[in-house]
Amino acid sequence: MEPIVPIENAKVFFDGIFSEPRLCHPEGVAVGKGGDLWCGGENGEIYRIAADGSGIELVASTKGFTLGLAFDLDYNLYTCDLKHRAVFKLNARNRDVELFSEGGDDGRMRIPNYPVVDAQRNCLYVSDSYHPVRRGPGVWRIDLDSGQSNLWYGRNLRFANGMALSPDSKWLYVAETFDRKVSKIPILGDGKAGEAEVVVQKIDRLPDGLAFDVEGNLYVACYEPARVYRVSPDNHIELLIEDLDAHTLCHPTNCAFRGTELFTSNLGRWHITHFDTGKLGLELL
């Protein structure tokens, strides 16, 4: 399968190997107000990168390990933290970071990995990767006002990772990394979860991050090998871009749209990559 976008078309948006502060192996990436980029670091850092890529700012830190990030409508930022096994909230007004959720009556999160804001239902979905080898639950749901948490999808998944809400907000798509597939979970009328269905399973190795464009195409960033797939609404799979040298794209994890540009974090290096997809990304806010 030949890639649609040549790797030469992908560029380093911001190189943080020698920046001050240094960009430490970003896992999560999100587009903020005004088009700036937000990402995390291996010591719990929460960074803001200028919209034109001209500079980086360390906004806050959990002293943990920051994974996925997501903004709500008020531009509060939610971050998953591997070390603390929790979700933190960065207040948009004063930039204070506070513990938001560690789980609920169903127990504690094990590996909270990626958050998705559902503005229509005023909640946050958080994937729990559970264990690299063993299957387990699942996806948590957290009320954005109260912070009250419950295990929303309690059935087994295989390392639930990146997620994306479908354009019609009726399905939550979940990358099951070590099963090499993407599943979708129906969001029922009462807000509860239906049974997961497999939608993508013919991709090579390790899917990680997910994003949608306005036409309903799903973008799947793969941690290994370094590539991004595009999957049409009728499940036709295209290889969008691939880096055989794992340099410009190096273990891409999460991905996020700004216009037609797709930004990827690179857990294997110190930079953020971007390239034009030719499709308008779905706005998350």
Report how far residue 229's alpha carbon sits from residue 242's, in angstroms, rounded to the nearest whole number.
9
Report how far residue 232's alpha carbon sits from residue 165's, in angstroms, rounded to the nearest whole number.
15
Mean of pLDDT over the chain: 96
Every domain of the chain and the residues it spans: 25-217
Q: Return the SS3 of 99.
A: strand
What's the helix, strand, coil split of the chain in %, to 5? 5, 50, 45
* pLDDT at position 132 over 90: no
Question: pLDDT digit string (tens) for 177-192?
Answer: 999 999 999 999 999 9
Q: Could you count the other beta carbons within 10 Å of the beta carbon of residue 204?
A: 14
CB neighbours of 8 closer than 8 A, spacing ≥ 6?
none
Assess contact for 267 and 254: CB atoms under 8 A: no
* pLDDT at position 285 over 80: no
Beta pairing partners, 123 = 118, 143
C-alpha distance from residue 258 to each of 36, 159, 213, 262 (Å):
9, 27, 10, 6
Rounded (5°) CA angle 70-214-247: 60
Assess contact for 228 and 262: CB atoms under 8 A: yes
Report how far residue 154's alpha carbon sits from residue 196's, in angstroms, rounded to the nearest whole number.
11
Q: What is the DSSP letter of 205?
A: S
- The reported pLDDT for the residue numbered 205 is 87
Q: Model confidence at 44, in pLDDT bands (50, 70, 90)?
A: very high
- The reported pLDDT for the residue numbered 105 is 84
- The reported pLDDT for the residue numbered 106 is 86
Question: pLDDT digit string (tens) for 88-130?
Answer: 999 988 999 999 999 988 899 999 999 999 999 999 999 999 9
Q: Give the β-pairing of 112-118 and 107-108.
A: unpaired
Report how far residue 111's alpha carbon sits from residue 259's, in angstroms, rounded to the nearest whole number.
31
Report how far residue 24's alpha carbon sits from residue 35's, in angstroms, rounded to the nearest whole number.
21
CATH class of 25-217: mainly beta
- The reported pLDDT for the residue numbered 203 is 86
- The reported pLDDT for the residue numbered 248 is 98
